[in-house]
Amino acid sequence: MIKKEVDLTPEERAMLQGSSGEAASKAMEIIMALARVYGARKLVPVASAQIAGVSYMNLGDAGLEFLLEWADAGAQVCIPAMLNPAGMDLTAWQSLGIPRSFAHKQRMVVEVYTAMGIQPTCSCTPYLAGHVPEFRQHLAWSESSAVSFANSVLGARTNREGGPSALASAMVGRTAEYGLHLDDCRLAHHKIDVRCSISSLSDYGALGYLVGQRVSNGIPYFCFRDAPWTGTTWGVGELPPEPLISGLKLLGAAMAASGAVALYHVDGLTPEARMGDMLASDAKIMRIDDLSKGYSALNSPVNNIDLVSIGCPHASLDEIRWVGELLDGKQITSDLWVTTSRNTREEAESQGLVECIEAAGGQVVADTCLVVSPVKMLGYHSLATNSAKMAFYAPSHVGLQVRFGSLEQCIQEATTGKWE
Amino acid sequence: MKLRGRALVSGSAEGVALSSLEPIGFLGGVDPETGIVIEQGHALEGECVAGRILVFPTGKGSTVGSYTIYRLARNGVSPAAIINANGDAVTTVGAIIASIPMIDQVDVSLIRTGMVVSIKEDLIEVE
């Protein structure tokens, strides 16, 4: 038993001692240990949990065994909880060429989570699939880009949880109060003075790549000289309009990949920056005059592209629409995966967008992401993407050579077979 | 020599120390089937953690490393206990789900490979 140093409520103490069963007691132990590691004084209720450790490729048999054991011990979630992307489209896996043995294990993983009461929303963009956190709401989310979006764009509060700790939080409805749950820890210590213009979605990613590399796990505060959203406003706690939502999603995802940025502010735009001064007085200043270094670092000299990947993080409905518009009346020569949440795919299907992309030879793939799918088994060697996060991870995680550029360049590559 | 730390996962264990002044990343750093450290260039590369009192400053790397620690335990090749200078989230969560006793806030440079170590709760005895 862990000694009491963290101030627990009687209910929390009872859960730790087993009042809600063995599994919940183990979950409390995990949260208590994190509280002690990070010096938290108490626990805080969380509104939802987003759980990583879903792809069988990353979990392996050990992870699956652990989940089965926990489920056997009576693990049940007590707050809304959803999953990170799985290693395949849970329904259309065969047409993607996913081996049956992999599919079997992957389905077992999702089934055991579902048995615990978790929604099988396998997505890195739960905020586009009906889970929009409220301003200042505490969460226990795992996926680094979702954590960044919830903290930065919506003003919710979550640290980046590991798979087991997010699951533990889902089971007891609490997390340790440290880090980004606290006001003092949300101030930016890096001012990013962006002097160049941002003219495409991939520019947000290139910018994020450069900033993440520099600030590591710090909090950046962006000041844009030439803000592309001038005149755009949205209510605190609401999703911003497109294309801003996709731009901010790609910016945050890139910073969480090249660095470990879990929160950023944008002067005059993000909710906390609109409501108060979020820039520390001793902030370091970083100036960005152009994005070419970001583009060159993320491009390998490859010209034969096997696969074009759009939707990292998962594509919004508008992104799917833009792909459809660019493909209209054309046929592609490379494979094309537009990855998205099941929910968004269904909306796209009802609007005829899936049909349009499929008519050109592409696929709209749900529940998964190339970084966590067994891409090597599918025989791909090179990839083009408009996501800096994907371009950053694809070489190291799945061994692909990468081209990184705008959505227009990616679709042009898919149709002409040439990267220009 | 007696040392006192902070018990992150309570328990008792005895064994021979395997000590590193470099952080350990479990995912990709330790083979979950054999318990052998496989990170290239690591001070402990080629050593086996099974049954040892594993002493290192702190963890590093992917959060999936918690599952690697669990897998070591399932395969019977986990360390008997973990001693850290500063416990991190990945190692601590791994030790909890694998039920491996773990103590931190210890001057790990005092415990060298080959020393016989026994731990009980927050107390460490080194022969």
- Domains in chain A, start-ordered, CATH in brackets? 10-183 (3.30.499.10), 187-294 (no CATH), 299-416 (3.30.499.10)
Which residues does A352 contact at the CB level (< 8 Å), separation at least 6?
none
Name chain B contacts of A61, Cβ cutoff 8 Å.
Answer: 71
All domains of chain B, ordered by start, with CATH? 2-126 (3.50.30.10)
Structure tokens at A11: 């209910």
What is the distance in angstroms between the Cα of A70 and the nearest Cα belonging to chain B? 10
Mutate to test the interface with B, among A6, A26, A34, A70 (most CBs of B within 10 A): A34
Write out the E strands in A125-166: 140-141
Residue A372 DSSP class? G
Angle at the Cα of B30 from the Cα atoms of B27 and B36, rounded to 5 degrees: 170
Q: How far apart are CA B59 and CA B73, in angstroms?
A: 17
Q: What angle do CA A68, A73, A75 make, to 5 degrees?
A: 80
Cβ contacts (< 8 Å) between B71 and chain A: which residues? 60-63, 65
For residue B62, pLDDT over 80 is answered with: no
Strand partners, A223: A193
End-to-end CA gap in chain B:
7
pLDDT value of residue B113: 98
> What is residue A2's predicted lDDT score, i.e. its pLDDT?
45
Q: Reduce the DSSP state of residue A143 to 3 states and report it.
A: coil
CA distance readout (Å), A42 to A13, A33, A178:
12, 12, 9
Among B63, B71, B92, select the one facing A33 at the smallest CB separation. Answer: B92
Of A261, A46, A160, which is closest to residue B63 (Cα–Cα)?
Answer: A160
Contact between A105 and A56 under an 8 Å Cβ cutoff? The reply is yes
List CB contacts (< 8 A) between A36 and chain B. Answer: 6, 8
CB A326 within 8 A of CB A411: yes
Q: What six digits make up the tokens of A330?
A: 């054309």
Extract the tokens encoding A99: 């081996």
**Residue B58: what pLDDT?**
92
**Nearest Cα to Cα of residue A99 among A364, A375, A310:** A375
Task: Give B-chain residues touching A59 at CB under 8 angstroms.
Answer: 64, 67
**d(Cα B70, Cα B76) in Å, to the nearest integer?**
10
d(CA A260, CA A49): 20
Question: Which of A2, A59, A62 lies at the smallest CB-CB distance from B74?
Answer: A62
A190 with A219: CB under 8 angstroms? Answer: yes
Q: Provide the 8-state DSSP code for A134.
A: P
On whether the CB atoms of residues B83 and B53 are closer than 8 A, the answer is yes
A237 touches chain B (CB under 8 A): no
Report yes or no: A396 at the B interface, CB cutoff 8 Å: no
Classify strands A188-194 and A279-288 as parallel, antiparallel or unpaired.
parallel
- Which residues are paired to A307 by β-bridges? A335, A383
Give A333's DSSP letter.
S
| Residue A69 forms contact with B (CB below 8 Å) | no
Q: What DSSP assignment string belongs to A193-262?
A: EE-S---SHHHHHHHHHHHHHHHTTS-EEEEETT-TTTT----TTSPPPTTHHHHHHHHHHHHHHHS---
Contact A213, A258 (CB under 8 A): yes
Inter-chain residue contact B63 with A1, CB threshold 8 Å: no
Reported pTM: 0.91
Round to whole Å and give the CA distance between A162 and B69: 14
Structure tokens at A141: 């989310």
Find tokens 């891409």 and name the residue: A375
Question: Of A400, A420, A402, whose CA–CA distance to A411 is shortest?
Answer: A420
Nearest to A169 by CA among A204, A139, A214: A139
Residue A296 and residue A209 in contact, taking contact as beta carbons nearer than 8 Å: no
Q: Is the ipTM of this complex over 0.85?
A: no
Which residue among B32, B66, B74 places its CB closest to the CB of A162? B66
Helices A244-258 and A388-398: crossing angle in degrees, nearest 10, is 40
Residues of B with CB under 8 A from a CB of A: 6-10, 32, 63-64, 66-68, 70-71, 74, 86-90, 92-93, 96-97, 104
pLDDT along chain A (420 residues), means of 10: 74 96 94 92 98 90 90 96 97 94 97 97 95 97 96 96 95 97 97 96 97 94 89 84 96 94 95 94 96 96 92 98 96 96 97 97 96 86 95 86 96 89
State the smallest CA–CA distance between residue A162 and chain B in angstroms.
5
**Between chains, do B64 and A58 touch, taking CB under 8 Å as contact?**
yes
Residue whose tokens read 């594993």: B54
| Distance between CA atoms of residues A181 and A176, nearest Å | 9
Q: Tell me whether residue B118 is one of the annotated catalytic residues.
A: no
Count of C-beta atoms within a 10 Å radius of residue A133: 25
Q: Peptide bond before A126: cis, by omega within 30 degrees of 0?
A: no
pLDDT recorded at residue A229:
80
| Cα B62 to Cα A12: distance, rounded to the nearest angstrom | 29
Rounded to the nearest angstrom, the minimum Cα separation between A187 and chain B is 23
Please, are residues A368 and A85 in contact by the beta-carbon 8 Å criterion?
yes
Sign of the CA dihedral running A14, A15, A21, A25: negative
Choice among B12, B19, B20, B62 that is catalytic:
B62
CB-neighbour burial class of residue A235 (10 A; exposed 0-12, middle 13-18, buried 19+)? exposed
| pLDDT score recorded for residue A4 | 47
Average pLDDT across chain B, whole number: 94
DSSP A6: S
d(CA A53, CA A166): 10
Q: Look at residues A140, A113, A145 and name the one whose alpha carbon lies nearest to residue A128.
A: A145
